[in-house]
Structure 1
Amino acid sequence: MKSTLKPRLAGTAALCLVAALVPEFASATEGYFALGYGVAQRGVAGAGVAYSQDGMSSAINPAAAASVGKEFSLGVQVFSPRRSYTGTDTYFVAPGKVESGHEYFLVPNFSYNMPLQNGAVLNFAAYGNGGMNTSYPAVANPNCGYFGGGSGVLCGGKAGVNLNQLFLSVTYAQKMGRLSWGVAPTVAVQSFSARGLAAFGVTANDTDYSTGVGLRAGVQYEVSPQLTLGLSAQTRFEMSKLDDYSNLFENGGDFDIPASITAGLAYHPRPDVTLLLDYSKIFYSDVGAVGNATDAGPMGAPGGAGFGWDDVDVIRLGAEWQQTPDMIWRVGYAHATNPVGPEDVSLNILAPGIVEDHVSFGGSKMLSDNDRLDFSVGYALSNSVKGTLPASMGGGTVKLEMHQFSASVGWTRRF
């Protein structure tokens, strides 16, 4: 009775921790999708659709849970995005370079993997996306009266947005010979707030919430002892409307979570080395609030203006080396296409999710027969996009810039 109660209490405590931190985390590497959802996955730049590292692997591919025994994982990432814009000869924003504040965020994750008597596995996980986050300080704009007044990006008041998405999933997975499969009904809760956007006709500044349900599913197939193939997909999450921002997001506050698909392989050239290759596509353009062009029509209207994001394609490479029975080392690289074009820089001052290249390093150290310490660090190289503002915004140019740092630590207990 005592041993059964401990993991239940640990799981409840972890879930409460994640829920409590919903308004305060952010993560932006592949648009606003996270590079990885667990500490070990971040060490290989988010790769692993064909590889089962731990219970958090279910967030990459639900089928991965089938190859993981009974274990509990808890981790946290310190994420630091550095974003800025530079205005030149423009009335829309103050001239010169303005850097966003609020540079450090905590990103928790949790999973509990529980084998069943029929050979299948149940996995419970909580993790998050975020990253459409900016917090620009008040900057004097000498051209404030050009558009007849206002505040925020236009007239120098504090301005910014904050989007966070929490996913709570229950995965059912099973291994049948060489084939593993898994399905994960998933509940999503997202929060959004904005301030200083009178230039866009938005006066709300409170945090609003919406909820929705989606499905993730995946398979892994062992072609040989050296090679495993993996495939996973996520449906579009139809979210309830963010009513407080009905005049910002297309169709009266719609902000759905886009579908995505990932395929890849895991190759073992020798028993102590694993090489990973993943390809992902995120369908941002299918969600009007994100994908519609910034000049598509009135903001908040059906088919109206969005952030103008293109779909994102991601290639991830990872390597894992088992140096000793107690020590594993990891390294990774990922390249994601930039969703923001020069024609859409105006609104994306608020959401400069433009980084492309990411490098990562990490490892795992066994602390005992049952306890493991995971760690990883990552860096997203600086990238910029420069575009000309339309005449309706006074012309001139705006340059967006972003780079990122992160460090993660986690603990896994096997039972």
Structure 2
Amino acid sequence: MMNKLNIFSAGICLIGLGIAFPAYATDGYYLTGANARATGMGGVGIALPQGPEAATINPAGATFVDNGFEIGAQLFILNTRTTDLFFPGNDVKGHQYQPIPDFGVNYHLNDKVTIAVTSFGGGLGQSYNKPFVPGMGFSKERANFIQAGIAPTIAFKLRDNLSIGVGLGVVNEFFRARGVIVPTPQGPAQLPNHGWSHAFGVGGRFGILWKPVPAVGLGATYFTKVHMSNLKGYEDDLLAGLGGSIDTPEQFGAGVSVKPNDRLTLGFDVIRTNWSGVKAFSEQAGFGWRDHTTFKLGVAYGLMPGLTVRAGTSLAKRHFGSEFVLANVNTPGTSSKSLTFGFTKRLGEKDELTFSADYELNGKVVGTGHSAGTVIRSRYGFTGLSFSHRF
């Protein structure tokens, strides 16, 4: 067994690093949808503002929704099994139930100017049932990486059918890792547990939304890369070779929405995330996360007065190749396709309740190259609920 451990000592180090970056779904570590309304339509929202949280997806969307607030949460449910890790018969299992809150406030100062404050974020946690390397007194693998952001936004209506929006992405990261194993000349060793560490960064968010005719919307967004501060403690060991920080990637997208009649709405978004520009996820770090294009398609239908139903899908190429399975054992975002559905029920004249669900497909990855023999199987999804009120 020790011969096998020596052969795969580099892989052990990568897996130790991998604890830091558990991943969500088809969007890397981001949610399929920023809120329950968007999730129900596969994450669509760049050209289809819905509710007080619209500015999360496109800052310009704030001008096209009513005054109000929304608060909600999505629950992430994950079960993972990794087989033949390093050597035959070494199987580990993990699970996680992670609530992810979201909120938004939207207010029109006048006919031309709207302000909004919304939330965004990503990350995950993972807890395995035993150490990755058995019989050596190591701790069980466990980690949390939480990225929570606030986006203050101001949007300007240039014409009745055209708006632009600008804002800040104020990002806070919280990270802890336990049971991180690295190779040493004396054999595998476990790094110290530094507990929770915090990092901070600020980026820019920009958007435009145009409705050439009332039934058609065209939108585009650009979110800058955010350079985060160092994670204290981990900057000296786990993240020492990666600059000590975990930055957020540059992201841009475009969307279109069409409303053929009063009941039916169709939406399509395409989003590009430049993971390769973030050192912590790059091939240099061993994760091999590649630049990533996600296609989102959704439909909403007014089934009856006061009840809108939604369905959608999110499609992408997996953000890492099968040769990087070992490095991504703790990043269970193995799916490249998801199916979503949801509904919004009106409660009186000013209140609404929205439900959504997201199920990830094809959660199995068979390792190749240096990862040959290791297989990750993940079953996971989201369910969300939110309440909104118009002022």
Does residue 1:135 correspond to 2:117, yes or no? no
Aligned to 1:50: 47
Equivalent of 2:253 in 253, 262, 270:
262
- More displaced 10-residue stretch of structure 1: 246-255 or 227-236: 246-255
Going from structure 1 to structure 2, the CA distance change for 1:380 and 1:369 (only over 3 Å counts) comes to same
Equivalent of 1:208 in 192, 197, 210:
197
Cα distance in 2 for residues equivalent to 1:140 and 1:242 = 24
Q: Which runs of 5+ in 2 are unaligned?
A: 1-21, 184-188
SS state of the match for residue 289, structure 1?
helix
Cα distance in 1 for residues equivalent to 2:298 and 2:372 = 42
Aligned to 2:263: 272
Aligned to 2:291: 311
CA contact (8 A) 2:24 2:333 kept: no
Going from structure 1 to structure 2, the CA distance change for 1:120 and 1:346 (only over 3 Å counts) comes to same
Does residue 1:400 correspond to 2:376, yes or no? yes
Going from structure 1 to structure 2, the CA distance change for 1:355 and 1:258 (only over 3 Å counts) comes to same
Cα distance in 1 for residues equivalent to 2:130 and 2:35 = 36
Amino acid at match of 2:300: E
* Superposition map of 1:70-149 within 5 A: 70-87=67-84, 90-91=86-87, 95-101=89-95, 103-117=96-110, 119-131=112-124, 133-138=125-130
Amino acid at match of 1:100: G
Going from structure 1 to structure 2, the CA distance change for 1:203 and 1:386 (only over 3 Å counts) comes to farther
Aligned to 1:197: 180
Q: TM-score, normalised by structure 1?
A: 0.82
For residue 171 of structure 1, report the CA deviation from its aligned partner.
0.7
Going from structure 1 to structure 2, the CA distance change for 1:396 and 1:218 (only over 3 Å counts) comes to closer
Aligned to 1:230: 219
For residue 199 of structure 1, report the CA deviation from its aligned partner.
3.0
Cα distance in 1 for residues equivalent to 2:57 and 2:356 = 17
For residue 26 of structure 1, report the CA deviation from its aligned partner.
8.3
Number of residue pairs matched by the alignment: 361
CA contact (8 A) 2:78 2:381 kept: yes
For residue 364 of structure 1, report the CA deviation from its aligned partner.
0.7
State, as a whole percentage, how many aligned pairs show the same letter.
Answer: 30
Q: Which runs of 5+ in 1 are unaligned?
A: 1-24, 152-156, 297-304
CA RMSD of aligned residues (A): 2.1
For residue 138 of structure 1, report the CA deviation from its aligned partner.
1.6
Amino acid at match of 1:234: F
Cα distance in 1 for residues equivalent to 2:103 and 2:242 = 34
Aligned to 2:320: 340
Equivalent of 1:169 in 147, 151, 162:
151
CA contact (8 A) 2:23 2:30 kept: no
Amino acid at match of 1:114: Y
Amino acid at match of 2:209: Q
Cα distance in 2 for residues equivalent to 1:45 and 1:189 = 26
Aligned to 1:372: 352
Amino acid at match of 2:192: T
Cα distance in 1 for residues equivalent to 2:133 and 2:47 = 52
Going from structure 1 to structure 2, the CA distance change for 1:355 and 1:396 (only over 3 Å counts) comes to closer
Aligned to 2:340: 360
Cα distance in 2 for residues equivalent to 1:287 and 1:62 = 24
- More displaced 10-residue stretch of structure 1: 62-71 or 219-228: 219-228
Does residue 1:410 correspond to 2:383, yes or no? no
Aligned to 1:220: 209
Does residue 1:285 correspond to 2:276, yes or no? yes
For residue 197 of structure 1, report the CA deviation from its aligned partner.
1.1
For residue 351 of structure 1, report the CA deviation from its aligned partner.
1.6
Relative to its length, the structure with more strand (as a share) is 2
Aligned to 2:38: 41
Going from structure 1 to structure 2, the CA distance change for 1:39 and 1:349 (only over 3 Å counts) comes to same
For residue 339 of structure 1, report the CA deviation from its aligned partner.
1.1
Cα distance in 2 for residues equivalent to 1:319 and 1:214 = 32
Cα distance in 1 for residues equivalent to 2:61 and 2:332 = 32
Amino acid at match of 1:383: G
Amino acid at match of 2:91: K
Q: TM-score, normalised by structure 2?
A: 0.87
CA contact (8 A) 1:172 1:183 kept: yes
For residue 27 of structure 1, report the CA deviation from its aligned partner.
4.8
For residue 110 of structure 1, report the CA deviation from its aligned partner.
0.7
SS state of the match for residue 58, structure 1?
helix
SS state of the match for residue 37, structure 1?
coil
SS state of the match for residue 42, structure 1?
helix
CA contact (8 A) 1:341 1:385 kept: no
For residue 284 of structure 1, report the CA deviation from its aligned partner.
0.7
Aligned to 1:32: 29
